[in-house]
Structure 1
């Protein structure tokens, strides 16, 4: 099993002038102690599940590009990109650029997006429920076409591209990997079955059900579900009431359900102590599972 550090709260990084150095230290520490991936949230205002709307929030892909320059091995992604926030051709180019400049470490983590308030607040494209799923699938098809080397036109219901020319090509072979995130058991997991290299769901009580439903969706499209990495999201707190042993029990539960990578935020991320504790007490243990 592997761990991925997820960044969704920037309130502990100090004043704006201090945030860059703080993030660089966090990323280097995460890489050094053995985290396999580093993900950032794709929000522009803080969400209520984490904090207050007016708390600091950084744009995802600018942050990932910055972190790429301060690391060398850790994989990088948004968890997850809101599909409507960036035109698909531009998104394909952004992920390609991150992949090229990071030496092949970029993923496309993507979902439908849900925060209509921030989208309309900042004048970003949004859509109804069905429209967002349709746009997500077209975005996936466009990115895959761009990464295939084809410069053919693309004609969809929502997006029309005169050419999918994309030079330079990604460094990742055969292309950047795709993670689809979201809890929808019909449409989200159906898209994961068709297009994804990994799926991500919340690691709560219904996590096992999500894997069962993914298997069903894979059967429907004729794909082996073993080709898709199962990943879950849960807090990574080695200093909480249950300590490192409690975290290990939770990770073992998810491992036994079939998850091979766990993404999670670490409390008080401005201190290296939590990351180092996970690196010394947790990562060596789970790497043998």
Structure 2
């Protein structure tokens, strides 16, 4: 399996639950985490596409951050990308230009994660429209077509209900051939069909696994949709976003969990819902919690479902102990 880090670039346990122990965002802390991920032997670095998560509304913008990470990790083969970028925040032609630039800065390591967006409060605060979900999915469908044209066509053009470009030159083209891989995040029926049509990699995050049918059902349906599109399911990678809390000493693990929990659960419409204990986090949120041997055992069912990548959130950050322990003792057992 491949193991990546979801970079801690916003602070606190507000709408999301990812960095409850990080009080403030600053360059040195974030880059120390990036350096630790490299030293731990992880395979990729991803960052969320938001502007104001967390109780203090502190967050780094994703593409600016990825540019810095590209330079910071020069000479490595680590994947980098947004997980996932919201189609509502940037014109897709501009987004393709941005991704192409970072592909060059990283010497061909960008993967373009895309989704239809969800954070209503953030859209309203920044003045972005927040259409109904089906319209956002339509925007994503068209947007990926625009992006692929920008990546591959000499004089890109597209005309749809939401986007139109005409001779929108994107030179130089991306380094990767035929283009940076497109990662689609989502697990609802329409998003699965869209991913089957367009994605080089399908990503499922926590809330997407928790809603509706079980993930086993969704994985089977995704295979069916790929075959209906004339695609070989083996040709599309699958990745799983997960929280990981790991310590060697069970007593130290218990103390850490007492510090981390409770955590908010759900999205902004149900922020009062909480994960109160590690047991709830394992059951409701698929958290990986335990000693290195226990975490390695918890990963195995994910791999058996066909997921070959884990993008990991370490809630003990800014401590890098969990990340280092994972790289030293868990990853070698499951690669």
Normalised TM-score (structure 2): 0.79
SS of residue matched to 1:65:
helix
Corresponding residue number in structure 2 for 1:36: 43
Q: How does 1:1-289 map to 2 (within 5 A)?
A: 1-8=1-8, 10-11=10-11, 19-46=26-53, 51-52=54-55, 54-72=56-74, 73=76, 74-184=78-188, 186-202=189-205, 206-239=214-247, 240-241=253-254, 242-287=290-335
Matched residue pairs, number? 279
CA deviation string 1:152-196 (max 9, x = no partner): 421111111122310111111221011000121x21111111111
SS of residue matched to 1:10:
coil
Distance 1:8 1:71 in 2: 16
Q: Answer with 245-254 or 106-115: which moved more.
A: 245-254
Report the Cα offset of residue 28 of structure 1.
1.7
CA spacing shift, 1:75–1:22, aligned 2, 3 Å: same
The answer as to whether partners of 1:85 and 1:126 remain within 8 angstroms in 2 is no
SS of residue matched to 1:235:
strand
Report the Cα offset of residue 14 of structure 1.
5.8
Segments of 4+ in structure 1 off by > 3 A?
12-16, 202-205
Report the Cα offset of residue 63 of structure 1.
1.1
CA deviation string 1:89-126 (max 9, x = no partner): 11000111110111011111001101121111111233
Distance 1:153 1:202 in 2: 33
Normalised TM-score (structure 1): 0.91
Distance 1:209 1:278 in 2: 29
SS of residue matched to 1:56:
coil
Report the Cα offset of residue 67 of structure 1.
1.2
SS of residue matched to 1:84:
coil
The answer as to whether partners of 2:8 and 2:317 remain within 8 angstroms in 1 is no
CA deviation string 1:243-268 (max 9, x = no partner): 21221112111011111001120122
Distance 2:24 2:169 in 1: 41
The answer as to whether partners of 1:154 and 1:163 remain within 8 angstroms in 2 is no
The answer as to whether partners of 2:10 and 2:24 remain within 8 angstroms in 1 is no
The answer as to whether partners of 2:243 and 2:313 remain within 8 angstroms in 1 is yes
Q: Which runs of 5+ in 1 are unaligned?
A: none
Q: Answer with 189-198 or 199-208: which moved more.
A: 199-208
Cα RMSD over matched residues?
A: 1.7
Distance 2:306 2:157 in 1: 39
SS of residue matched to 2:81:
strand
Distance 2:8 2:73 in 1: 19
